[in-house]
Chain A
Amino acid sequence: MKSDVQYNLDERYVFSDKAKKNVFIVLILGIIFFAIGVAMLAFGGDHSAAHALAYGDPTGHVGEGGHGFSWVTRLKSDLWINTVFFTGITMIGVFFVAIQSAAHVGWSAALKRVPEAFGSYLPVLGVVMLAIFLWAGHDLFHWTHSYLYNETLENGQPNPQYDEIIAGKAGFLNPTFFIVTVCFIFVWFAFWFFIRKNSLAEDLEGGTERFWKIKTLSTLFIIFLAISSSIAAWMWVMSIDTHWFSTMFGWYMFASWHVSGLATITLTVLFLQDQGYLKMINENHLHDLGKFIFAFSIFWTYVWFAQFLLIYYANIPEETAYFIDRFQNDLYKKAFFLNIFLNFIFPFLGLMTRDAKRKTIILKIVCFGVLAGHWIDFYQMITPGVLKENGGFGFMEIGLLMIYIGVFVLWIGNALTKAPLVAKNHPMLQESLNHHI
């Protein structure tokens, strides 16, 4: 290896006007698409409203008192998909840094500032999440309706809307606990804040003291995340299908987040390289990132399949209802199968060979595919539960996703300018610069 090559370890990212312009184009296109989508739904006739009136909740009570379906509900569902999806991606940035530190990973030291930049976006998402819950909670989460919990009405008559099963979950499914799970995001941010602080101090001080401090913080973060991510997954997504339950769900959602996060990190590294940064990252590092995406795509499939097969095989009505809503519903069937194709078959075949993992263009294609796939994964987790027969996919979904991407890229691009692109005093940096596989 060319170990005598001198890399610029002090380089800083400059968010160029050209790059910003590209992001704004995405944003503006997103807004236009979104507006078209809203217009189409708002003025596109009352076709969907007729559906809603005919629709009755399988559990016996009529959702929302049976009022007509409005595009605003669909907007709420879409907002929720994107917020949960991007919260996961952002959190995985911190998780990546933490796991590399706790496991003494050498190869990734040169690129660690990229995922490290993600964490600063967490509080924004926390606030957005809370705002959406306050505004849209009743449409997203059936369990937020207080009438479900009273056995009798005020006049002493039995409450026809009382739901014994949901009432039994009240200890967990309540707004207070929901706010606790949103607070998790701020705790993740706090861990990120201190990890980042030490990481930046290491640039100035050198030595190994900061390395060990970051390791301790990372270990604590991982422990907290292991517990909080599952609880968050139950609250944010599993509770949408309020009656349904699956012990695997927390890990399933984490697996989905993880692959999305890895793909985003890889894409960010590749785009920085396109702009002439991070020259020390070569095909060996990309190979390892590719392996991660490959391996964790298979892991996601494993978890997805185990959950599906066990429910399918045991065939218990309370559990299969969830998959019947997706698998046997023409509205969501495409998403169901696209999910498996984009998240398993596509990265599996795309990244199978050694050469594929070392080629920028293939990595980019697979990363985009996987990210689209996992967005669809969240779509099929959330939309059928919220919108039932009124779900759809069109300009509104595409536009809103583009807006979320635009804001995310603006924020992360800006965060990248805040610190040197390479942690030049990281004790593993030499290993990373000389990485060769």
Chain B
Amino acid sequence: MQVVSQVREPLITGGKTIRDITEDISSRVEESPSAAWLGGFAFSLLMFIAGGIYLGDLLWSGIGRWGLNKSVEWAWDITNFVWWVGIGHAGTLISAVLLLFRQKWRTSINRAAEAMTIFAVFCAGSFILMHVGRTWLAYWCLPLPNTYGSLWVNFNSPLIWDVFAISTYLSVSLVFWYIGLIPDFGTIRDRATGKIGRLMYGMLSFGWDGAAKTWMHYEAVSLILAGMSTPLVLSVHTIVSFDFATSVIPGWHTTIFPPYFVAGAIFSGFAMVLTLMLVIRKVYRLEDYVTMEHIEMMNIIIIVTGSIVGIAYTTEFFVAWYSGVEYEQYAFVNRATGPYWWAYWSMMTCNVISPQLFWIKKVRTSILATFVLSIIVNIGMWFERFVIIVTSLHRDYLPSSWVYFSPTIYDVMCYIFSFGLFFTFFFLFAKYFPVVNMAEVKAVWKESNPRVYRARRTVSEDEIPAADKKAIEKDLVHAH
């Protein structure tokens, strides 16, 4: 018997039936694209193409087009890479780690978060391909037998570990996401009225038949993939942190980097999930599936991971002083007071100070505040990587090599390109794929059913929806 305590919030509100769930989510796929969607999609394509033109020039002429110089050899490229990989983390965390922790509220948001993961990893990968300069030779990163004699991958290099970590991560996330989609594609296929829809969703659903045996296989595969994804959540950003921490550069070499990068990645990932979900929820009228409870939970994860990141910043600062190493001390003082002080304080404000507002219940249950803060966190996490990368590099051991990095239009437009790439994919996903996992939401539906558990709306001050009220009244009548 499944028992749910009275102190828990319902996961689905509005007295939805199983049929409502199918209807509310599938119809978004079935109806023709709205004007807002077309506009948004066109804008994404525009960013993609405009950025792509500059990117084409960059590939043709070389990465000298960027503002890099002989001291700052990594700047926006790796900043963007780490930023996008970090964003990707939330999807895997929601689908795998929260599954292991039996956090049932994940079911409403895991689909979109996983999609976000995959597209974010595409964007991250694009920066890796760009920054190697001769992108057409990027396959040299793979240990392929070749005719170049001793030319072979340097397995001692964390950059190579990165290649394997990211590609494994992408493959597993992609498979996990797609397996989860299959039952829902089956549902949409069965509802499709047009010939093309039937054919397309028929192919996408891999002949899903919904038999008990098929569900058993589905459950088993999901659990195996969740088990595989969990170490990946940790490993990917750990390896990304190794790109810096294995070096001897003051400000990069610090042992706390691996867990702190992972926490920061989850932090930024959840912020991006919130940014996207708050829009989708509004546009697709999914308020009963992505409830205030869901938003509050995500905000709590943001405050926990944000505070972990804050403690890590402070620890780094403290230990730099404690170490007595002059260069280490200088690196940190220079971060806060040197020429890039503005980047450092943007990072501190956006990542550490402003998320603390979420301690206040009014703030973390306000849609507007959540939306604004989620964007602020994303800005802050971009600055974090910029601060780590650029401020640690721009002051070399030799003062004659001290420089200031300024981005060029190519830096900016390559970043815009990645936004175009991300949102083009995301808009396509939001229109043609079911944005909420119907099958899994149905699985948690019962414990939110007001017939079983009387509506427990303690988070929101809203009226109990009419449908819930009716069900409760009926219950009360029965009881008497």
A3-B256 contact in complex given A104-B8, A227-B311, A247-B316, C-beta closer than 8 Å: no
B245 engages A245 (CB within 8 Å): no
Asked if B32 is at the interface of the complex by the 8 Å CB criterion, the answer is no
Of B1, B234, B246, B311, the residue contacting A3 (CB under 8 A) is B1
Give every chain B residue within 8 A of A243 (Cβ-Cβ): 324
Q: Given that A248-B256, A251-B256, A316-B253 are contacting pairs, would A172 and B322 also be in contact in the complex, using a CB cutoff of 8 Å?
A: yes
Would you call A430 an interface residue if the criterion is a C-beta within 8 Å of the partner chain's C-beta atoms? yes
Most A Cβ at <10 Å: residue of B1, B5, B6, B8: B5
Distance in angstroms between the alpha carbons of A246 and B234 in the assembled complex:
20
Residues facing B in A86-145 (CB within 8 A) are 104, 106
Does A159 lie at the interface of the complex (its beta carbon under 8 Å from any beta carbon of B)?
no
Say whether B3 contacts A431, CB under 8 Å: yes
The range of chain A's interface size is 35 or more
Query: Chain A contacts of B247 at CB under 8 A?
Result: 314
On whether the beta carbons of A165 and B324 are closer than 8 Å, the reply is: yes
Contact B253 A314 (CB under 8 A): yes
Contact partners of B323 in chain A: CB under 8 A = 245, 318
Chain A positions within 8 Å of B5 at CB level: 106, 427-428, 430-431
**Which of chain A's residues has its CB closest to B323's CB?**
A245
A43 proximal to B (CB < 8 A) = no
Q: Which chain B residues numbered 431 to 459 have a C-beta less than 8 Å away from chain A? A: none
Beta-carbon contact of B258 and A104 below 8 Å: no
Indicate if the CB atoms of A168 and B324 lie closer than 8 Å: yes
Distance of A227 Cα from B256 Cα, bound (Å) = 15
- B7:A208 contact, CB within 8 angstroms: yes
With both beta carbons as reference points, the residue of chain B lying nearest to A211 in the complex is identified as B7
**For B3, what are the chain A residues with a Cβ–Cβ distance below 8 Å?**
3, 430-431, 433-434
Contact of B401 with A by CB under 8 A:
no
Q: Which of B5, B255, B307 has the most CB of A within 10 A?
A: B255
User: Which residues of B lie under 8 Å from residue A318 when comparing CB positions?
Assistant: 323, 325
Q: Which residue of B lies closest to A291 (CB)?
A: B100
Report, as a range, how many residues of chain B touch the other chain.
35 or more
What is the bound-complex CA distance between A312 and B111, given in angstroms?
40
On whether the beta carbons of A169 and B307 are closer than 8 Å, the reply is no
Are B246 and A306 in touch, CB under 8 angstroms?
no
Q: Are B311 and A230 in contact (CB under 8 A)?
A: yes
* Contacts known (A169-B324, A230-B311); A246 close to B7, Cβ less than 8 A: no
- State the total of A-B contacts with C-beta under 8 angstroms: 94
Q: Mark A50-73, 1 if CB is under 8 A from B, else 0.
A: 000000000000000000000000
**Which residues of B have CB within 8 Å of A251?**
256, 259
B6 touches A427 (CB 8 A): yes
| Beta-carbon contact of B322 and A302 below 8 Å | no
Smallest Cβ-Cβ distance to A311: which chain B residue: B255
What residues of chain B lie closer than 8 Å to A211, measured between beta carbons? 7
Interface flags for B1-39 (1: CB within 8 Å of A; 0: not) read 111111110000000000000000000000000000000
* Bound Cα distance from A226 to B315, whole angstroms: 12
CB-CB contacts of B308-351 with A at 8 A, as 1s and 0s? 10011001101100111100000000000000000000000000
Residues of A within 8 A of B253 (CB): 310, 314, 316
The yes or no answer to B374 lying at the interface (CB within 8 A) is no
A226 to B259, CA, bound (A): 14
**Does B187 interact with chain A (Cβ within 8 Å)?**
no
Bound Cα distance from A106 to B5, whole angstroms: 8
B378 at the interface (CB under 8 A from A): no
Q: Which of A204-234 contact B (CB under 8 A)?
A: 208, 211, 223, 226-227, 230, 234
Q: How far is the CB of B278 from chain A (nearest CB, A)?
A: 23
Contact of A247 among B8, B242, B248, B255 (CB under 8 A): B255
**Which chain B residue lies CB-closest to A231?**
B318
CB proximity of A291 to chain B, nearest CB, Å: 8
**The residue from A104, A247, A316 contacting B315, defined by CB atoms under 8 A apart:** A247
Asked if B324 and A302 sit within 8 Å, CB to CB, the answer is: no
Find out whether the CB atom of A245 lies under 8 angstroms from the CB atom of B246. Answer: no
Mask, B243-255, CB within 8 Å of A = 1, is: 0011110000111
- A172, A310, A430 — which one has the most chain B CB atoms within 10 A of its CB? A310
Partner of B246, one of A164, A310, A437: A310
Residue B291 is within 8 A (CB to CB) of chain A in the complex: no
Q: Is the CB of A169 within 8 A of B7?
A: no
A101–chain B nearest beta-carbon distance, Å = 11
Say whether B256 contacts A247, CB under 8 Å: yes
Residues in B239-278 with C-beta less than 8 Å from chain A: 242, 245-248, 253-259
Which B residues touch A172, using CB under 8 A?
318, 322
Q: Shortest beta-carbon distance, B335 to chain A, in Å?
A: 15
Q: Which residues of B contact A1 (CB under 8 A)?
A: 1
- Separation in Å of the B106 CB from the closest CB of chain A? 14
Bound Cα distance A431, B2 (Å):
8
Give the Cβ gap from A399 to chain B, nearest Cβ, in Å.
35
- Given known contacts A211-B7, A311-B255, A434-B3, is B245 in contact with A250 (CB within 8 Å)? no
Q: Which residues of B contact A311 (CB under 8 A)?
A: 255
Residues of B close to A106: CB separation below 8 A = 5
B255-A306 in contact (CB<8A): yes
* Interface presence of A321 (CB below 8 A): no
Is A303 interfacial (CB-CB < 8 Å)? yes
Are A245 and B322 neighbours in the complex by a CB distance under 8 Å?
A: yes
Q: Is the CB of A306 within 8 A of B238?
A: yes
Decide if A307 is an interface residue (CB 8 Å cutoff).
Answer: yes
- Given the contacts A428-B7, A434-B1, A226 and B311 also touching, CB distance less than 8 Å: yes
Select one of B6, B259, B312, B322 contacting A303, CB under 8 A: B259
B260: min CB distance to chain A, Å: 8
CA distance A318 to B250 in the complex (A): 14
Chain B residues with Cβ under 8 A from A430's Cβ?
A: 3, 5
- Closest CB in chain A relative to B408 CB, distance in Å: 33
Q: How far is the CB of A315 from chain B (nearest CB, A)?
A: 8
From residue 310 to 347 of chain A, which have CB atoms closer than 8 A to chain B? 310-311, 313-314, 316, 318
Q: Which residues of B contact A223 (CB under 8 A)?
A: 307
CA distance A228 to B102 in the complex (A): 30
Chain B residues, Cβ within 8 Å of A250: 315
Q: How close is A310's CB to chain B, nearest CB, in angstroms?
A: 5
Instruction: Please give me the 7 A-B residue pairs with the lowest Cβ-Cβ distance, nearest first.
Output: A247-B256, A248-B255, A306-B258, A165-B324, A434-B3, A245-B323, A168-B324
A-side interface residues toward B, CB under 8 Å? 1, 3, 104, 106, 164-165, 168-169, 172, 208, 211, 223, 226-227, 230, 234, 243, 245-251, 291, 302-303, 306-307, 309-311, 313-314, 316, 318, 427-428, 430-431, 433-434, 437
Give me 12 A-to-B residue pairs in the complex whose CB atoms sit less than 8 angstroms apart, sorted by A's number: A1-B1, A165-B324, A168-B324, A208-B7, A226-B307, A226-B311, A247-B255, A247-B256, A302-B234, A303-B259, A309-B246, A437-B102
